Each structure stands twice: as C-alpha cells, then as structure tokens.
A and B are shown apart, each in its own frame.
Chain A
Amino acid sequence: MTAVPLASAQAVPRHLAGGRHAARSERGPAPKRIVVGYGFWIFLLSDIVMFSAFFASYAVLVGETAGGPTGTQLFDLRSAGIETACLLASSFTCGLASIAAGARDRSWFSIAMAVTCLFGLAFLALELKEFISLIARGAGPSRSAFLSAFFTLVGCHGLHVSAGILWLLTMMAQVFAKGFRADIERRILCFALFWHALDIIWVALFTVVYLMVAGR
C-alpha cells in the first residue's frame, strides 16, 4: 500500500517537489537566468577591480608631467560634460530597452536600443576628437607618465564602450532574427548589466580625471 506514493514521490525530482517553502539547500539549482546573471555580475566586479588598478596608477602619476602640460591646461570640461550626458542618457534608454524586452515588445526594444547605440557613438566620437586634439598639441601618451596613465585609463573605458556597441548591435540582430528566446533574454540581461557598469566607471572617471584636475 505504501509502495505507490513512495514510488511517485521518487519519480518527481527533488527540487521540483520542494517548492517554495523548502529549505534553501533542498531547492536544487537556481534557474539559469539567475545563475547567468550572477556569473556576469562577478565578471563585472572583476572588470571594476581591473579599472581600479588603472585609477590607482593615474592617481599616483597625475603629478608626473615631466615638464609637459598638466591636466588643468589640457582638459575641456564642456566636452567632458557632454560625454557624461551622452552616457547617462544611453544608460537610461538601455534600461527602457530591457523593460521593452521584458514586455516582449520588439519595436520599442529596437527603438530604445538604436537610441542607446546613437548616444554611445556620440560619446565615442567626442572622446576620439579629444584624443586626436591632444595628440595634435604634442600631448600624446608618450609625452609624460601622467599622459600615459590618462590615455590608458580613458582609452580602456573607450574600448569597453566600443565592445559594448558591437554587443548592442549583435543583440538587436539576434532579437530581429530569433525573437525573445530564453537564451537571447539572458544575453540582453548581461548586456544591460555591462552597459550600466560602464556608466558607473565613467562616474568615477569624470570625477577623478576631469573635475579633480579642474579644481586645482
């Protein structure tokens, strides 16, 4: 008599039988979305640790101008302000894109992602213009330790933004071709995390590199 319910209980996998009130250890593995998001979060934190090394080297080397131009003479706060506005706006529209993805709305997703892409490209164009004008004025990365650290830090962030834009276009193409499949949705989640994390790094960057120097 007792053999029948026992057999049926064994047939159900343990983590499905546990349900909401089971102990955490009895629940089985978390859904893939949470595992993937958490893993990507760990990657982002390691990326931030790498950036902190560049920030530390910049902070140490900021005075070592080797007789060359200082940050106060070189940096244009207005341009940095516009770059900040572009990145902040793109972060907001990226959030709108993830909401649209959650609501399974293809057209709004495409619009929000396209606007995000345009703001990102505007940011990159401004940064490139600044780099070119610095090098033209003889303040390239080989001029002094300060400028080496500046180009490494800001250029590394710019490379991340470029990679982010490539990823953004890939996600638009994948949603266009395959729709909101579960694996595509996980990629959109990771992309949004990446883009917002880049904005956080930029907050530290414009404060330490541009604003701190302007005050001197």
Chain B
Amino acid sequence: MSVEDHDSFAILDTAPGETSTGEKGVGRAVLGYLVGLGLAILLTATSFYIAGTDLVWTPSIPVALVVLAIAQMGVHLVFFLHITTGTDNTNNVMALAFGVLIVALLIGGSLWIMANLNHNMMPMDQIMQMQR
C-alpha cells in the first residue's frame, strides 16, 4: 500500500539528483552517467586546448571558454544532477532559474558598476597630488 502510494507520487514529482534505477535498470543508469562523463571530458579537454592555442582568433578565446563552461555546466545539471525539463521537474527548474537570475545580476552588476567607477575615477597619481 505504502509502496504504491510512493510510486504514484514519484511519477508526479522528482527530487533533484534522483536516479530512477527502479524501472530502467542499473545498466541504463550507469550509461547515463557514462554519457555525461564523456561529454564533460570532451568539453573540458576542448577548453584546456583552446586556452593555450593560437589556432583561433585570440580575442575570441575568452568568449569560447565561457560558452564551453556554460555548456559543461548544462551537461552536469542534466546528466549528474538530473535537472531536466520534464513536467515532474518544474519546481527544481524554477528554483534553478531564480538562482541563475541572481547570479547573473550579481556578477554582471558588479562588473558593470566597477568598470564604470574605474572609468570615472581620476588616475591614482593625480589623487595623491590633490591630497598634498
């Protein structure tokens, strides 16, 4: 009885990080982690390779690194933390979206404000002269 109840709820909601070994079997679950590991290794190796190379236009390297890092975070979220876009995962995705919003505001806002202040500030030697 209690097992059936748990199953009926398990279909409707998923805890983050939950591996469903029950229905698919251990082999499928391991395969999921293997795919995630393979993709993560590929992305990591690419970013380490790109960082030291001059094969691509040099100013584009930071952008490429950021894109690769975000892609790898996505791979980790889907294959390791099992945050997916399924209907049973809505709460987890909404919480993640809010977290991403705060992170973007915090990092983007800090960089923007500090760059602006830096731009408007007098050079250091002139400030020292005014204080004399």
Contacts and interface: CB of A to CB of B under 8 A. Distances in A.
B65 A215 contact: yes
Contacts of B10: 31
A38 B90 CA distance: 11
Nearest to B51: A211
The range of chain A's interface size is 35 or more
Interface in B23-82: 26, 29-30, 33-34, 36-37, 40-41, 44, 47-48, 50-52, 58, 61-62, 65-66, 68-69, 72-73, 76-77, 80-81
A203 B99 contact: no
In this complex, the member of A36, A37, A41, A59 whose beta carbon has the largest number of chain B beta carbons within 10 angstroms is: A41
A203 B69 contact: yes
A102 B106 contact: no
Interface string B99-114: 1001100110011001
Contacts of A99: 19, 21, 26, 29-30, 33
A198 to B, nearest CB: 10
Nearest to B22: A102
Given A52-B107, A77-B48, A211-B48, 5 more contacts: A38-B95, A59-B110, A192-B17, A196-B81, A215-B51
